Chains A and B, each alone.
Chain A
């Protein structure tokens, strides 16, 4: 599994954009990059995933570096409900059958101030 490095914590103000970085320099060429988030006392929730191109969905955007050694999750307008632990998870080889085995690191604790 690729090792990831994420900041332990980040803070943002409500309504402002948030950029959550992740370094995954040992990622294999065919591994996807997944992001999940976990609200307090709840199970993790899927946010977004991508392989090489930048991706957008209703929750967030994912910017992937050209060399794929890092990525950034972008929340365009943070709300109080976005306060959570955000996990960056490389894996689930596009050519393999790893059946959703996700390896969670420590993640980044995002605090959103009113």
Chain B
């Protein structure tokens, strides 16, 4: 079945370590997005990519990095520069044209101790 897959579902890291979250889609979508969600809050956009080898900062990009080397993959690295990395991270994709439905993965819950 087509969809968007995030792995792992739960991730624990020590403070000061970089960690990379995986996001893969087989929907042939051009656009991909990373959001962060804190408890009881809405989603906030970290980075988005409209096409392979191109990406733009969202509203809260500091402390994060991304790459888009392949259409189906958009990994997110949470660096040690991110002051409060513990959160629920959601990846999404869409066809890339205006007014299209976005498909979300099941999320990765990152806990930094």
Contacts and interface: CB of A to CB of B under 8 A. Distances in A.
A93 B45 contact: no
Interface residues of B, number: 30
SS class, residues of chain A in contact with chain B: loop
Contacts of B106: 42-43
Given A43-B92, A92-B99, A107-B42, A100 B107 contact: no
A23 to B, nearest CB: 16
Interface string B81-113: 000000010101011111111111111010000
B33 interface: yes
A105 B44 CA distance: 9
A93 B99 CA distance: 7
Contact of B48 (A43, A46, A101): A101
Interface of A: 32, 36, 41-46, 49, 87, 92-107
The 8 closest A-B pairs by CB, nearest first: A43-B104, A100-B94, A104-B42, A104-B43, A46-B101, A99-B31, A100-B102, A92-B99
